[in-house]
Structure formats: structure tokens, C-alpha cells
Amino acid sequence: MSIYDILIFFLGILFLVGVAATPSPPASPCSAANASMSFTLRPLDLQNCFSLQSLVTPSRYPYVTADGEVFLTRDPADSAQQTNLYNVGRISYIGPLELRDQNGLVRSFSTFFVFNITTFTKYNESGDGIAFVVTTDRAPPENSTGRFLGLMPEKASDRHEQFMAVEFDTFQNLQPEILDPSASHIGIDISSLSSVKPYLNTSDPSHPLYLYNNYTISAWVSYDSSTHLIQVWATNRTYLQRPRDPILSVSRNLSQLFENFSDIYVGITAASGNNSQATILYSWNFTVGEFQIHHSSPRLPLLWSILLAAISAIVLFTAAIFAVRMIVRRRRRALIEQESISAIRVVSRFVQRYRYSELMHATHNFSDNRKIGKGAYSIVYKGTLRDGTILAIKRMRKGLVEADVIAREVQIISRIKHRNLLELEGWCYERGEALLVYQYMERGSLDRYLHGDRSATDSQELHGEIRYKIITGVAAALEYLHFGLTECVLHRDVKAANVLLTDTMEAKLGDFGLARLINRDEMVTITTAGTPGYVAPEIVHAGRVTEKADVYSFGVLAMEIACGRRAIDPSNMICSRLSDWVWLHHQRGSITEALDPAILHPPSGPALRGDRDVSELQELEKWQCVLHLGLLCCQEDSDARPDMSQVHQALRSQTVLPPPSSWALYSIRSSGTATRSDATFAPCSESSSLLSLSYSSLHVR
């Protein structure tokens, strides 16, 4: 042991002795929160640390669900509640917070909360809103329902409180003392219901914070004691970190506001008047800046006090780096976990929630022999529940670090219903891990039938009719994602391994792990992601993505199914890309020679021989439609590609569209580098590509 280690050990012992000599305050159920001046709303803490308050007795609202969701105001869809429209629902920290420093000034603080406003009426016919409040009132004042949001009483003569509130207001009040700008606005209130300018008017239905769109909103509020700056951030996406730019920012000295009041309380309040809306609080975190707690203690000799202070300073300095890092890491992890749980709980209210222990038992503790697949963000296991139900369990690989990915995936999948899309069956978020549960597909993925362990033994099952059905099914799924929803959903990882097959060989497109929600026609610049061979050139070159990137991937998949070849063949030095290989066949006037011979063999019966009858020519024309579509979808210029609606329509009608007139060939030189050559050729005539084929030509691979 070195002298340095001995010194540190000795100083540590003296420090602990000094700490032990300091008397501790009496413990209380919320002493941890009081000591750190921060708290997080948790179901287990509600009884001891939080107060639910209402102006109507008896009243069902506010109430807490088994999942910890706090319903502050009446749900209009709740038939059990007959009246009580005029009411206030408020949740407050149970006692006054020590917001002042030793000089009596209000300290810096910040808060984060996630809530949902559910309306069933037209604009300006619900009411009245929700607000975060720092106030001198322990409980909502009498006669403070409706437009008063539980912040102040209706009569001016009854008003004695001081408060700072951030309101999300859903009813336009035109009384002279209020003059709301609209029935959907966000404002900062200082002891008045007339918001301090500037306020944020969100009455445009396209606004991301339009309060009649039933969004789940994440909000952040902070106060800086040094600058007196109050700032507000908000977003309608529950899984995101705080946005960079605040939506509101005003300067007010809260120390002056609360100067004549000893007790300060914090809460979240909602109110209803003539009409009502469901106001649900999912999570709430509140934090105050660092401060010192002083307790009385016997007077120590001056020398011992100086020595103890010096020793403590040395030890604290030595441990500061490690302590600060540990505290920051724990707080960050706790906040991320709380946000993630709230986000997933919000978007999966109608999806079954499993316990971690249940899924761990179902997969034999996530045993390797239960592993059935893996991706960039996850490993998939086959699981068997105690009742015998077999499920596919997707275990996210990066835990809390990928909380936004987890929430995004649940948000997207849980609301998408289509016969050719794999539906989410359930979810779990425990121990810092997220797991998604799907219906188990016994047949597995299309990739297994085309290239894997089932390609040889079950090749007859993947005959032409089934393959065409699979291609059409995937096209229908992508058309729905791009055009069938309010917002365009990009899949971004369309490939054979993500096409699962039912018992009847119907396609189910799964794995939305790379999906992004974007507004239609909006281009989003993102990091290149996806599977090599399926990724569109504009992603590789510029990182730009629209739904045309999915069209490109679909084109590769369609040709892969039709030809029975992989999207990339590294051994082919001339044309490693499948699309180049099909193009060269097209250029020679023999595009159907690129087809897998197995697709023209019916499930039973002899292979094609001799002259073709009309049905055989129709079969060839159908597959020429697929190959032409594949080439059109894989054009380098994304604007030249068809959209998935056009693709699906062409497949359903078996329309043979003209192939591209030019093509950019990629080749791999001996050095291993890829090169591109632009070649323009005359289109091949349809007569030469169909009527002159012989059976022997189909064996060219």
C-alpha cells in the first residue's frame, strides 16, 4: 500500500467521524425527496408524498390507475360519472418545498411532465386545460373551476395567492381580465390568467402542439435564479429528449413574487367548466438546484472545526469527480427510464403488457438455442408461455441507450393494422430492458425459403403463384404504410429476412426497428442504415430518405423472389448487384431468362414443354411485369421511380410497364472498389422478349 493510499484512507476515516458527529434529522416517508429537493411521481409514493385534490366531494376525479396514470379531470367517455363537470383536479407535492436559499432567494428549478388531453368535441367546445404551477396555495382555491384552472378564485376579492404557472389552455375566454388568444394556446401566467407575452398560439390544426389533436405531450419548464429566466419546451413525441429551442421564454423575478410568503407548493392542475376533457398525467419529475441543509449541533473547538473542515474539503475534493459522475449518471438513467416507461405506456395502452420474469421463463432465460433471428437493434427468441402459447420475443440490444428507438417502434407498430403487416402482440419494459412480443410464425422468413435451410427441401412450396402472392402482399403493405395512414411511415429495412410467412404462405412484413415517422413529401436527412444491396443510392451518397427508398428496396426484393438470387453476389466481378444482372438480361432481349425456373413449375405436374399455350404466355407476361417493375423501382434517380400505389396497381392488374431506357451499372474491380458506368441502350421490343423464348432458355442461371 502506497503512502498516498494510506493518506486517503486516514482522511476518509476522519471525514466519516466528522459526519457521524453531525446529528441527522428525523426520517419521514418523503425525506429522500426533501433532502435532494427533487422528486419523481411514482405509484408507490402517491399516498405518502403526493396529494390528490378536488373541489367536488365526493368525486371520482382525480384518481390513479393501476399503471400509475393520474386522471385529473373527468373522461367524457366515462359513463359512470354523471355530473361534476365543474371541477378541479390537482396533484401536489404533499408539503411546501424548500425553494429558497440561505439568503431567502428562490433557487433555480426544473420540471418535466408527460400528459394527454383527450377531447371528443369540436374546436373550442372542450375545456379547460392543464397547468404546472408554483404557488402559495396548498390546495386549489374555492370557485376556481373552468377558466380559472384551479389557480385562483373567480371573485377578485377572494384572491390572495401568488403563483407562476405554465398553462396549456383549450378554451378561449374573452373576459377582459383574460382575453385568451385562441382555444389552443400555451402561456406563462404570473398571478393572473392573462398570459405574459409572448404566448404560443397553437390553434392551427397542423401545429404539432394543437391541443385538440389528442396528442400526448412532453413538457419541460425551468427557472434560472441568476437570470430570472423562465423557459418552456414542449413536443408531441413522448420519447424525445428536450428540444433544443424553447417555445416560450420570459424574465420574471420569482423571489420578488413570493417575497411575502413563507411556504411555496408545486403541483399540476386541470379544470373543467361547461364541457370536459380527459386530462391524464403520465409522469412528473421536479428538481431544484444543489443546496445545503443546516442542522443545529454542539459548538466544536475552533481548532478542531478548522481541522475537520480542511480534512473534509480534501476528501470531498478527492471524491467529487467520482460522486458527481455517479449522481449525474444515475439521474440521467432514472429520467430516461421514466420517460421511456411513460412513452411506451402511452402508445401501447391497448397492447398487452408482459412481465420480464414471464418472458425470461418463456425463453429459458434467453437461451441461445431459443434464438431465431437477430437485427441491428435486437435479438429474436422463440418463447412458450405457461399456457402453451408460442410467441416471438424481440429483445432490444442496447437497453436504455436506445429508449427513443424502443418508444418509436412501439408507437408505430401498435397503431398499424394490415393483413400483410406483422402486428404487435405485447411489450415489456423492466430492468432497463425493452422487449416486444409478436405472433410466432412457424414457417419463419422468406429468406429461409429462398436461400436458407428450407430452400432445397421446400422449394416446391415456393412456386410461382405463391411468390407472386408474396410480392403483391408486400407491395400492399408498403402502399398502406406510405398512403393509408395520417402520416407516411417509412419502413427502411425491406428485405427477404423481414418478410415472414404464415401457414398459408401469406406475407407479413415485420421489423420496424429502423422506421421513421415523417410528414408526407418531407425529406429527412438521417444516418445511412439498412441492409447492403437493398439500400437506395441517395441514402448512401447523401443520406436523404423519402418513401422512394422503400420503393427501391421493394424492387430489389421483387427481383430476388423472381430470380431466386441474392441481392448482392460478391463473387460476380462484372455485375454483383442483382438489378444489374437483370438489366443485362433485359438488354440482350432475354429478360425472362433471369427467372428462377422453379417459379414456372406448378406445385404438381410436368415442367413446361414444347409450344406454349395462352396460359403459359400469360404466366411469362406476369413475371415480365415483375422484372420490369423491379428495374423501374431500382432506378438511380428516385424521382423516376414509381410510388407504391402505382406498383401495387400494376401487380394486381399484371400490367407490363416499359422498363427504364438507361441504367447505371456497378462493377467490382480486382482491387475491391466499386465503379459505376452509365450506359444508354435502346429499349428491347416486347415481341422479341416474349414470343421467341424456348424452354431451354429458362435454364440459364
Q: For 477-513, what is the HEC assignment?
A: HHHHHHHCCCCEEECCCCCHHHEEECCCCCEEECCCC
Which residues carry a binding-site annotation for ATP? 394
Q: Where are the domains of the chain?
A: 31-292+335-345, 352-439, 446-699
Q: Are 189 and 161 in contact (CB under 8 A)?
A: no
629-671 pLDDT per residue, tens = 999 999 999 999 999 999 999 999 888 888 888 887 765 443 3
Most confident of 337-351, 546-560, 608-622: 546-560
Q: 446-699: same fold as 352-439?
A: no
The answer to which of 13-17, 182-186, 242-246 has the lowest mean pLDDT is 13-17
Strand partners, 109: 223, 288
**Does the pLDDT of residue 693 top 60, yes or no?**
no
Spatial distance between the Cα atoms of 678 and 665, rounded to a whole number of angstroms: 6
Spatial distance between the Cα atoms of 191 and 113, rounded to a whole number of angstroms: 22
Other beta carbons within 10 angstroms of residue 282's beta carbon come to: 24
The answer to which of 239-253, 409-423, 494-508 has the lowest mean pLDDT is 409-423
Residue identified by cell 383574460 is: 178
Domain 446-699, classified CATH 3.30.70.890, yes or no:
no
Strand partners, 164: 134, 190
CA-closest candidate to residue 265, choices 57, 90, 32, 27: 90
CA-closest candidate to residue 90, choices 153, 47, 39, 141: 141
CATH class of 31-292+335-345: mainly beta
Residues of the chain above pLDDT 90, percent? 25
**b (16+ CB within 10 A) / e for 159-168:** bebbbbbbbb
Residue with more model confidence, 573 or 24:
573
φ/ψ of 364, rounded to 5, equals 55, 50
Q: Which three cell numbers stand for residue 497?
A: 429476412
Catalytic-labelled residue, pool 493, 511, 550, 596: 493
Q: How many residues does the chain have?
A: 701
Strands 216-224 and 70-73: unpaired
132, amino acid identity: F
**493 catalytic, yes or no?**
yes
Spatial distance between the Cα atoms of 93 and 419, rounded to a whole number of angstroms: 48
241, amino acid identity: Q
Residue with more model confidence, 453 or 19:
453
**pTM of the entire structure?**
0.52
Provide CATH code, domain 352-439.
3.30.200.20
pLDDT of residue 62: 81
